[in-house]
Amino acid sequence: MFGIREFLLNMLIIILEIFAYQIFWADRIKQIQTATIKKNQYILFGLSVVSIALCITFPVSFTDGFRYDLRHIPLLIATLYGGNLVGLYLTLFMLVFRKLLGGEGFVNTLIVYSIFTLLVMLVRPLYFKLNLRCKMLLSSVLIAAMCLVPLWLIRYLIIDPYLKHSSTYLALSFTVVSILTGCLSIYLVERLIESVQMRMEIQQAEKMNMLGQLTASIAHEIRNPMTASRGFMQLLKESALDDKERGYAEIAITEIDRAQEIITEYLSFAKPEMEETERINLSQHIKNVISIISGYAAYHNVGLSVNLDKAVIEGNSGKLTQCLVNLIKNAVEACTGQGTVEIAVYTEGENAVITIKDNGVGMGEEQIRRLGTPFYSTKEKGTGLGLMVCYRIIAMMEGKIRVSSQKGKGTRFTITFPAKKEES
């Protein structure tokens, strides 16, 4: 079977690239930061360069100078998961390497792979919104479109019937093997990403558990003497002889209250368990939350825009209120005294979705990645515990939270819960 052996060799090279990426890089990732993403791009580019070079070096040759190989698979994977810049540099390397090898067909390579890279870059934003099956389907369409170009060339440019027949068989084999290799590669990469995310979530959960045990053991012991101290400071304030002493007492009381709030947040984090769950009508629940937070928004001169569809979830009503109030309060404060916070509820497939969007100061990628981690806050006097509690509550209600933001344009929190059927 002419060509199959070489195609399988190309497939092996690509699969080995993915395993090398996992062994030498992915398994060593401990925390995703800006530097980590840059280094990831460099490593992905380096491995793809080797993979492309080896695929071109061991092709299935068809007449003088024309080459069939699977170089487009690492190009596709690197562009999708490494970024457009990585894809452009890889295309440039591939064209230079192909030119150095000589022979006919370089012009065809230049045109076909330039269009292919451009198409991959255009569909990349859509790609990450799809599930695994749709990602594989979209990639298969791209690969098939690229691979069928040689079939067209064979049909119109080759006159010899025998050569046309064998070349048609080769082009069809090329297309089938390319699609299989592309789908297998994407499946392995997606599973690798899931593995890295799961490992990081486990590490985060271990940190949270340790912090929860620590806070639970000391918070109550601190809270009792502070309550007594506040009572005596209140008495001193009432019995103070002049305004200066009353001012000092007021400052002390304010700071004790602030410390109490922090301790309360610690306790909420330490014990976020769902005491009892119930079916929650999200539209009605959001209306109740808006009634709680509307005064705070008005005080900060921030408008609240609400768009509510019917959606029902299972969870703890009190904990959900605590979470949503915290998130909307943060959105109001991010608007810096002006702007609008948009709250929406809708269903998407089998999920109920809540979105909280503001047009405030926004955040950078590094800030987004650190949200929900202990003691990180974008506020001057924040502790990060409130948002950390929100993340934990959402996780315990089997939900997911996603954050997108741009500096100067605002932030969007998207919370997804499994939807339940409405009771008749």
Q: What distance in Å separates the CA atoms of residue 269 and residue 189, rounded to the nearest whole number?
A: 34
Q: Is the pLDDT of residue 25 over 80?
A: no
Candidates 125, 161, 3; CA nearest to 70 is 3
User: CA–CA separation, 90 vs 45, rounded Å?
Assistant: 7
Q: How confident is the model at residue 163 (pLDDT cuts 50, 70, 90)?
A: very low
Are 352 and 311 in contact by the 8 Å Cβ rule? The answer is: yes
319, 397 in Cβ contact below 8 A?
Answer: yes
Average pLDDT over residues 13-17: 90
Residue pointed to by tokens 């592309």: 182
Q: What pLDDT score does 160 carry?
A: 45
Residue 355: what pLDDT? 93
For residue 254, what are the CA distances in angstroms to 111, 231, 330, 377? 70, 12, 21, 21
Helix (H) / strand (E) element for 8: namely helix 4-24
CA nearest neighbour of 357 among 345, 340, 378: 340
Instruction: Between 264 and 343, name the one with better pLDDT.
Output: 343
Q: Give residue limits of the domains in the chain.
A: 4-203, 205-270, 278-418
Got the DSSP string for 154-188? Answer: HHHH---HHHHHHHHHHHHHHHHHHHHHHHHHHHH
Q: How far apart are CA 204 and CA 312, in angstroms?
A: 29
Place of tokens 């998130």: 327
Pick the CATH number of 205-270 from 1.10.8, 3.10.20, 1.10.287, 2.60.40: 1.10.287
Q: How many Cβ atoms from other residues are within 10 Å of residue 309's Cβ?
A: 12
Give how far Cα 159 sits from Cα of 63, 152, 155, Å.
13, 13, 8
Summary mean pLDDT of the chain: 80
Residue 157 pLDDT grade (very low, low, confident, very high; cuts 50, 70, 90): low
Residue 344 clears pLDDT 80, i.e. is over it: yes
DSSP string, 97-160: HHHHH-SS-HHHHHHHHHHHHHHHHHHHHHHTTS-HHHHHHHHHHHHHHHHHHHHHHHHHH---
CATH number of 278-418: 3.30.565.10
Interacting residues of 18 by C-beta distance below 8 A, sequence separation 6+: 77, 185, 188, 189, 192
Distance CA 247, CA 350 (A): 56
> What pLDDT is recorded for position 162?
43
H-type alpha helices, 240-316 = 243-270, 282-299
Comparing CA positions, the residue from 20, 86, 88, 6 lying closest to residue 54 is: 6
Can you read off the two tokens belonging to residue 3? Answer: 């060509």
| Token reading at 321 | 């209120």
Residue range 4-203, CATH number: 1.10.1760
CA-nearest of 146, 50, 59, 62 to 93 is 50
| pLDDT (tens digit per residue) in 97-144 | 988 887 777 887 888 888 899 999 999 989 988 888 999 999 999 998
Q: What is the mean pLDDT of residues 370-390?
A: 66
